Homo-oligomer: A and B are copies of this chain.
Amino acid sequence: MSPAAQVDLKEYCLDVARRAKSAAAVVSQLRGAAKNQWLRESARRLRGDSAKILAANSLDLAAAPGYGLTEAEIDRLKLTPARIDAIAVGLEEVAALPDPVGEVIESTVRPNGLDVLKVRVPLGVVFFIYESRPNVTADAAAICVKSGNAVILRGGKEAAHSSRAIVDLLGIVAAETGLPADAVQLVNTTDRAAVGHFLKLAEFIDVAIPRGGEELIRRVAAEATMPVIKHFTGNCHVYVDRSADLEMALRVTVNSKCQRMGVCNAAESLLVHADVAAEFLPRVAAALAANSPPVELRADEHARQLVPTAREAVETDWYTEYQGPILAVKIVNSLDEAIVHINHYGSHHTDAIVTRDLDAARTFVARVDSAAVMVNASTRFNDGGQFGLGAEIGISTDKFHARGPCGLKELTSYKYVAYGTGQVRE
């Protein structure tokens, strides 16, 4: 890039961020009805204008082989009328959620008569950096604006045309329904330097949310001058306690591992109490071998005596997030050993225990330091929709501000409001 083009890019990013900040002041004050009208009308228009969206999508599909996308990736990129309808339904679902802005989270009347309210307010401007699925463009715009924020969307180049068509449509409907045009902006360049420029603009941007590979998230966390909500993948565990219902343990293990393998809340390690290992391990190994695709086991020596077909696990296996048909397997001699293993090797994302023992459940819940701890349920439930938050912009692996699924509330802050009758401090 020429020096002049570099200056242009920097100016462009500054202009986008400034516009977003101005728009955020307006969006923060919108009534819920205005935001919902925008969402519902956008859903209607998406269905009505699906030909336009599909035409844009076909440009992305044509370019996809040139970007080296796999067939699975191209399939996720591809839009159909049914998938556009699903996007529209997503907008309608966000419209149906209660408006988080203005909610009184806590309140108290002080002895001097001062009424103190803690009131939910938007964060301001969200900078969202994400992978190339077009539905994410619509979802993120909906969640950010519904929670009273403006959003700067930086999608992958692979879905550039589809995302542009969707954002243009949202912008047209915004103009018609009284929302500021800059409430939702799509960055018009896929130049990676643009991300670096935005990450310096803490004056205008209140939070950066990167979603994608670990490398992207680490880069954003390192360069950002504003807070970052990080979404690392998960090294999730299922621990089968000695008191477990083994039928249930089988169901939960297979579901946690196999229901969808490439996602952050899929299980990567299985820990089994020694007392039930001889009975449980051969059964679960058979079930996992019968899955399509079959799941390869990497086991410690004790477990390999029970499942001879398993490969030998090495130290790195306990840390690995396979996101595919591999499961690490270890036999533990106690609940304590399981908890220590999970807290040491895990990624503090989602971990499950299967047990009938109340004390074991309580101990596991209290001591496993993860965003979500499941008792007798699949790890796959750690999800905004499944937990009842509605739509989510991701699953935070941070402890600060937001942990676990990030929905509308996680995109808000609060202010204190105190109503008095002339009170002063003595």
Contact = CB atoms under 8 A, between A and B. Distances in A.
A219 interface: no
A372 interface: yes
Interface in A124-171: 124
B248 A378 contact: no
Which of A124, A248, A371, A374 counts the most B-chain CB atoms under 10 A from its CB? A374
Contacts of A401: 227, 400-401
A230 B298 CA distance: 46
Nearest to A399: B413
A387 B116 contact: yes
A415 B252 contact: no
Nearest to A422: B248
Chain copies in complex: 2
Contact of A415 (B119, B227, B373, B381): B373
Given A373-B417, A375-B417, A400-B401, A423 B116 contact: no
Secondary structure of the A side of the interface? Answer: mixed
Interface residues of A, number: 64
B255 A377 contact: no
A243 interface: no
Nearest to A245: B422
A273 interface: no
Interface string A193-220: 0000000000000110000000000000
A422 B245 CA distance: 9
A417 to B, nearest CB: 5
Contacts of A119: 365
Nearest to A202: B221
A246 B65 CA distance: 72
Interface of A: 25, 28-29, 108, 110, 114, 116, 119, 121, 123-124, 206-207, 227, 245, 247-248, 251-252, 254-256, 259, 343, 361, 365-367, 369-378, 380-382, 386-388, 398-401, 403-405, 413-425
18 contacts: A110-B387, A114-B381, A123-B399, A227-B398, A251-B422, A361-B419, A365-B417, A372-B416, A373-B418, A374-B418, A376-B420, A376-B423, A381-B420, A381-B423, A381-B425, A386-B425, A387-B416, A400-B413
Given A374-B420, A403-B414, A405-B416, 13 more contacts: A121-B369, A227-B401, A248-B422, A254-B424, A371-B415, A371-B416, A375-B418, A376-B419, A376-B420, A387-B416, A403-B413, A403-B416, A404-B414
